[in-house]
Amino acid sequence: MSHAKIPLAGVIGCPIAHSKSPQLHRHWLKSLGISGYYVPMHVEAIDLEEILHSLPKAGFVGVNITVPHKERALEIADLVTDRATLIGAANTLIFRKDGKIHADNTDGYGFIQNLRQNAPDWHPEAGPAAILGAGGAARAVVASLLDVGVPEILISNRTRVRAEALQQEFGRRLTVIDWVQAGNMMDDASTVVNTTSLGMIGSPALRVPLDGLRKGTVVTDLVYAPLKTHLLIEAEKMGCITVDGLGMLLHQAVPAFERWFGTRPTVDSATRAAALR
Ligand code: ATR
């Protein structure tokens, strides 16, 4: 007797309980009528490589990778997309039929798609982008903004050397601004992005002066808990176009789901509701 194989996928992190990806993928599987499973997996760093090599044999077609394994997963992979190499981390793995592990990074894609969907008049080439933070998330944001034609990036981080490292790597279109002067970036910016964890539930507030923000500037926050951060509330009061960070999470999952399960899902209000459940 033979059984049709039900494809398995999931997300690997440490910790993993907070991840919204299981609700999201399960919503798509159910609404599209696809048989498949998406499971959260708590994996310690020491076990990562062995587990990644065991999963295909257990019926897994791929996994998402989250904190703290994104850089290590890139090293373990046999094949890597250009955008994952550029970002220096993997958030999506595809287990190929030939046994090879293929790594991609869809964070930058998700970031841009979120802006395109929720600020349809956004023109990346309209003017400089101001970025707060220079950690892992900022790398994906910088790479994707440069890719879509932002003319200049102003970047400010509490630890200045991390912003300088990004400038070294991504080149002359980046200018580093001191953290105490981060508010000055707002005057010129057409796009403003918070990539720090400031403003997240349980983290301190983002205290950068915002009075320089211009009407019509597109302001987005990668923090999505709460959905309306202090930055977005203040920016809205000043006539800016605001986009919350949940859409980035939803859009980054689209290419992975399509590769694993063969159907491209859509991101709409039902998807948002499912991820927030
Ligand atoms: P991620 O992958 O989410 O970017 P990360 O690499 O740990 O995570 O980066 C977190 C970002 O939030 C960094 O820009 C960090 O600034 P530092 O590089 O100076 O650590 C920023 N951040 C976190 N807590 C902060 C705080 N209390 N004040 C200012 N910036 C903070």
Residue 113 and residue 85 in one domain = no
Residue 129 and residue 178 in one domain = yes
Residue 114 and residue 234 in one domain = yes
Strand segments, DSSP code E, in 106-253 are 129-132, 153-156, 174-177, 191-194, 218-221, 241-243
Report yes or no on 132 lying in a domain: yes
Q: How many CA atoms lie within 13 A of 228 on its CB side?
A: 6
Judge whether residue 261 has pLDDT over 90. Answer: yes
Site to substitute for ligand 1 among 157, 167, 197, most atoms within 8 A of C-beta: 197
CATH, residue 17: 3.40.50.10860
Q: Which atom of ligand 1 is nearest to the CA of 132?
A: 14
ipTM: 0.97
Angle at 246 between CA 161 and CA 149, to 5 degrees: 55
Please give the structure tokens belonging to residue 148. 């879509």
Mode of pairing for the β-strands spanning 101-104 and 79-80 = parallel
Ranges 3-7, 148-152, 257-261: which has the least confidence: 3-7
Please give the structure tokens belonging to residue 214. 């211009």
The count of structural domains within the chain is 2
Tell me the CA–centroid distance for residue 144 and ligand 1, in Å. Answer: 19
Domain hosting residue 88, numbered range? 8-105+248-276
CATH, residue 168: 3.40.50.720
Residue 168 and residue 59 in one domain = no
Could you please report the per-residue DSSP string of 206-234? Answer: P----TTPPTT-EEEES--SSSS-HHHHH
Residue 70: active-site member: yes
d(CA 114, CA 19): 19
Model confidence at 1, pLDDT cuts 50, 70, 90, reads very low
Report yes or no on 1 lying in a domain: no
Phi first, then psi: give them for residue 267, nearest 5 degrees: -110, 115
Q: Which atom of ligand 1 is nearest to the CA of 222?
A: 3
Model confidence at 213, pLDDT cuts 50, 70, 90, reads very high
pLDDT per position as a tens digit, 218-258: 999 999 999 999 999 999 999 999 999 999 999 999 999 99
Judge whether residue 49 has pLDDT over 90. Answer: yes
Share of the chain above pLDDT 90, in %: 97
Report yes or no on 184 lying in a domain: yes
Catalytic residue among 5, 30, 57, 70: 70
Judge whether residue 3 has pLDDT over 80. Answer: no
Site to substitute for ligand 1 among 164, 196, 208, most atoms within 8 A of C-beta: 196
Tell me the CA–centroid distance for residue 167 and ligand 1, in Å. Answer: 17
Q: Which of 40, 15, 41 is nearest to 26 (CA)?
A: 40
Q: How many CB atoms lie within 10 A of CB 5?
A: 9
Whole-model pTM over 0.80: yes
Residues with CB under 6 A from ligand 1: 133-138, 157-159, 162, 195-198, 204
Judge whether residue 2 has pLDDT over 50. Answer: no
Residue that is written with structure tokens 């996928």 in the block? 9
